[in-house]
Amino acid sequence: MKIFLDDRLVDESEAKVSVYDHGFLYGDGVYETMRSYDTVFFRLDEHLGRLERSASLIRMQIPDRKFIAGAVHETIRANRLSGAYVRVTLARGKGPIGLDPALCKTPTLVIIAEPFHPYPEQFYQDGVFLVISPVIRNHVRAINPMIKSLNFLNNILAKADAKDRGAYEAIMLNAEGYITEGTVCNIFFVKDDSIFTPSVDAGILDGITREVVIRLARGSGLSVHEGLYSPADILGATEVFFTNTTAEVMPVSKIDDMTYAVGSISKRLRELYQAEVAKYVSLFRDGQKEVD
């Protein structure tokens, strides 16, 4: 595989980052993951905009958006990929040991592209098992979840707990006991034909797939509410699903001991989302500009 490192493509065996890089030493950095469909990256401009926001919130100067977009496309072309999973990582860079960001003069850019392997269709037919984690989501005044940070230990501990309990994913609560998000996804639930999802005030990353699904739901006449919700709210739902870049719209069949049907709203939103992707891919494959 070819990896884009800083300003050029290199073989995977040559893609080396210094042990003095503060991304390695302290988890000091940001990242984005995105998915390409037939060489077109869905919502590329939004992903790179969020990367810029994350970098700004940790006071990191990063390369121009158009440069990164070009490097992303160069990486999938070099690896002869069409449907791909791509991760763009920006670490603080090499510098002396110490916490001061000024010790690092230039950030490290790494772009990894891998073939995208679809989730088993059985997951979408039957749903997946989630648990409510005892691991509390980072407080917004500690590490703001709006920063897509390399410091991921909070999520890793919740994921490990879920795995120990035989679950696919974990739902994390905030310090006040309200639902936030999964370790890598946004959470939705359905009651009385209305859709509910935690708002950014709960302490979540404002997912790009989340935003698209909310818009599509409202555009199709569904009522969508964003707010603060307790575990009791979701455990009393009729449907639950989650969203992220790779899974798109994934139904949930069980949370802790509560079971749910894979309902019509989850199925409908998955279909609407896939139609939106197809329209977007057709538009940008015909030569429209992906990045402003």
pLDDT, position 287: 58
Report yes or no on 192 lying in a domain: yes
Q: What is the CATH number of the domain that holds 189?
A: 3.20.10.10
Q: Are 128 and 252 in contact (CB under 8 A)?
A: yes
Do 72 and 12 lie in a common domain?
yes
- Strand ranges (E), 133-236: 169-173, 179-182, 186-191, 194-198, 223-227
- Strand ranges (E), the chain: 2-5, 8-11, 29-37, 40-41, 84-91, 108-115, 128-132, 169-173, 179-182, 186-191, 194-198, 223-227, 239-244, 248-255, 258-259
Do 223 and 175 lie in a common domain?
yes
Do 260 and 204 lie in a common domain?
yes
Domain boundary among 75, 95, 115: 115
Q: What is the CATH number of the domain that holds 25?
A: 3.30.470.10
Do 104 and 206 lie in a common domain?
no
Report yes or no on 193 lying in a domain: yes
Report yes or no on 139 lying in a domain: yes
Longest dimension (CA), the chain: 57
Which tokens in the block code for residue 170?
């974990």
Do 38 and 91 lie in a common domain?
yes
pTM comes to 0.94
Residue 119 corresponds to which amino acid?
Y
Q: Are 23 and 31 in contact (CB under 8 A)?
A: no
Do 127 and 241 lie in a common domain?
yes
Q: Are 42 and 21 in contact (CB under 8 A)?
A: no
> Which one, of 63, 79, 70, 69, lies nearest residue 30 by Cα?
63
Do 27 and 9 lie in a common domain?
yes
Do 142 and 93 lie in a common domain?
no
Report yes or no on 285 lying in a domain: no
In terms of DSSP bridges, do strands 169-173 and 128-132 run parallel, antiparallel, or are they unpaired? Answer: parallel
Do 42 and 158 lie in a common domain?
no
C-alpha 23/C-alpha 51 separation (Å) is: 15
Report yes or no on 284 lying in a domain: no
pLDDT, position 285: 80
pLDDT, position 290: 72
Q: What is the pLDDT along the chain (292 residues), one digit of tens a residue?
A: 999 999 999 999 999 999 999 999 999 999 999 999 999 999 999 999 999 999 999 999 999 999 999 999 999 999 999 999 999 999 999 999 999 999 999 999 999 999 999 999 999 999 999 999 999 999 999 999 999 999 999 999 999 999 999 999 999 999 999 999 999 999 999 999 999 999 999 999 999 999 999 999 999 999 999 999 999 999 899 999 999 999 999 999 999 999 999 999 999 999 999 999 999 999 988 656 677 6
Report yes or no on 106 lying in a domain: yes
Active site residues: 148
Report yes or no on 287 lying in a domain: no
Domain boundary among 115, 138, 155: 115
Do 130 and 273 lie in a common domain?
yes
Which neighbouring-strand residues pair with 255?
A: 130, 258
Q: CB burial class (10 A; 0-12, 13-18, 19+) of residue 97?
A: exposed
The angle that helices 65-78 and 44-57 make with each other, rounded to 10 degrees, is 120
Report yes or no on 133 lying in a domain: yes
- Helices and strands, number each (H, E), in the chain: 8, 15
Q: Which domain holds residue 44?
A: 2-115
Do 94 and 229 lie in a common domain?
no
Q: What one-character-per-residue DSSP string does 1-19 give? A: -EEEETTEEEEGGG----T
Domain boundary among 115, 145, 173: 115
Do 65 and 110 lie in a common domain?
yes
pLDDT, position 289: 66
Which tokens in the block code for residue 260?
């749910």
- How many domains are contained in the chain? 2
